[in-house]
């Protein structure tokens, strides 16, 4: 049994890690920190977890409690992981970070897109990019993994195969994606209140959303990204547009099928993806078309932003770096209706 810790366990992604680890045959949650909820039972904040964690309480962050753990997940807001990793990496076997602190290879991008210098830029090159279906060989031997977020996962799994195969032009790619309100996190804010989100659909982060350079790095293309907030709790639906490369008539669906053949968490089909079909699962649903009339290729991806878009992906990476079965603890089947 591997002993793990979760830093930031009181947030939505931390709670989702607790839910997934509850069904994992090889992981034991030894520490769950949540500074704003320190001393409170896990089941008090999240009654859905009470039966599995009757004696576990959130604690304040204290570095020494992690000494000797096999792996620690960092489920923190951007900017906090880079403050902890230089010390924490000396105390634990492996680290999987769910934030964007170590996803970008180029440190100069952080001031432009995140508004501040990176405080641990020397560690950027040591983190593997945690998207197993595309970077599995980099993840397995790594001690440090930066798991990409929901928007980036959806767009990258949709577009990277087409860029790699030369099927689409690597410039002028458009990603329109909608997310459920849980993507904003547990902390209340005016834009995520029920009265704001309900019966509304709005775009935000126009031209400057901070996940744009991460998409461009992972996909290998120039991206125009527009995110939207949808009136639902969970889910990402990404609709991506690109121009075909070369003279041959493209078959983007076959490209996706060929690359993802044998990938248990990827469903490629003719059907248009649905966020509801992925609810609670670690799966991504994909489809693609070539429109002869306009000359555009369209690729769609749906996933659960808290599972494959965050905590499920992090657990998939943890399984790889710990030498465990990659799918352990990860649900293939969603909740429906």
Segment 134-161, tens digit of pLDDT: 999 999 999 999 999 999 999 999 999 9
What domains can you pick out in the chain, each with its CATH number? Answer: 2-147+308-321 (3.40.50.720), 150-304 (3.30.360.10)
What pLDDT shows up at residue 230? 95
Q: What is the pLDDT of residues 38-70, one digit of tens each?
A: 999 999 999 999 999 999 999 999 999 999 999
User: What pTM value is reported for the model?
Assistant: 0.96
What pLDDT shows up at residue 334? 95
Annotated catalytic residue 240: no
Residue 164, class by beta-carbon neighbours within 10 Å (0-12 exposed, 13-18 middle, 19+ buried)?
middle
Share of the chain above pLDDT 70, in %: 100
Rounded-to-integer distance, Cα 276 and Cα 214, Å = 26
Strand 236-242 to 173-179 pairing: antiparallel
What pLDDT shows up at residue 246? 84
Residue 189 pLDDT > 80, yes or no?
no
Residue 113 pLDDT > 80, yes or no?
yes
Selected catalytic residue, list 150, 240, 283, 317: 150
Compute the average pLDDT of residues 172-199. Answer: 87
CB atoms inside a 10 Å sphere around CB 193: 11
Rounded-to-integer distance, Cα 207 and Cα 161, Å = 24
Q: What is the pLDDT of residues 4-43, one digit of tens each?
A: 999 999 999 999 999 999 999 999 999 999 999 999 999 9
Exposure string (b/e) for 276-301, b if CB count within 10 Å is 16 or more? ebbbbbbbbbbbbbbeeeeeebbbbb
């Amino acid at each position: 049994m591997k002993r793990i810790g979760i830093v930031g366990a009181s947030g939505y992604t931390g709670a989702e890690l607790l839910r997934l680890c509850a069904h994992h045959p090889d992981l034991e949650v030894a520490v769950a920190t949540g500074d704003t909820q320190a001393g409170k039972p896990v089941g008090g904040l999240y009654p859905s977890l009470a039966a599995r964690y009757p004696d576990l309480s959130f604690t304040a962050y204290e570095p020494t409690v992690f000494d000797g753990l096999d792996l620690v997940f960092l489920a923190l807001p951007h900017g906090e992981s880079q403050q902890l990793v230089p010390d924490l990496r000396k105390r634990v076997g492996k680290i999987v970070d769910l934030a964007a602190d170590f996803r970008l290879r180029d440190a100069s991008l952080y001031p432009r897109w995140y508004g501040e210098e990176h405080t641990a830029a020397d560690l950027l090159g040591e983190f593997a990019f945690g998207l197993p279906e595309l970077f599995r060989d980099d993840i397995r031997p790594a001690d440090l993994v930066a798991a990409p977020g929901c928007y980036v996962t959806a767009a990258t799994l949709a577009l990277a195969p087409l860029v790699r195969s030369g099927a689409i032009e690597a410039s002028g790619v458009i990603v329109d994606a909608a997310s459920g309100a849980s993507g904003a996190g547990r902390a209340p804010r005016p834009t995520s209140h029920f009265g704001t989100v309900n019966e509304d659909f709005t775009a935000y982060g126009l031209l400057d959303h901070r996940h744009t350079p991460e998409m461009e790095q992972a996909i290998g293309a120039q991206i125009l990204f527009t995110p939207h907030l949808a009136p639902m709790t969970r889910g990402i639906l990404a609709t991506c547009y690109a121009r075909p490369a070369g003279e041959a008539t493209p078959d983007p669906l076959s490209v996706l099928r060929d690359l993802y053949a044998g990938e248990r968490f990827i469903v490629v089909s003719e059907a248009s993806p649905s966020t509801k079909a992925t609810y609670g699962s670690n799966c991504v649903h994909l489809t693609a078309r070539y429109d002869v009339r306009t000359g555009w290729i369209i690729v769609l991806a749906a996933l659960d932003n808290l599972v494959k878009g965050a905590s499920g992906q992090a657990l998939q990476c943890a399984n790889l770096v710990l030498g465990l079965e990659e799918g352990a603890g990860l649900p293939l089947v969603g909740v429906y209706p």
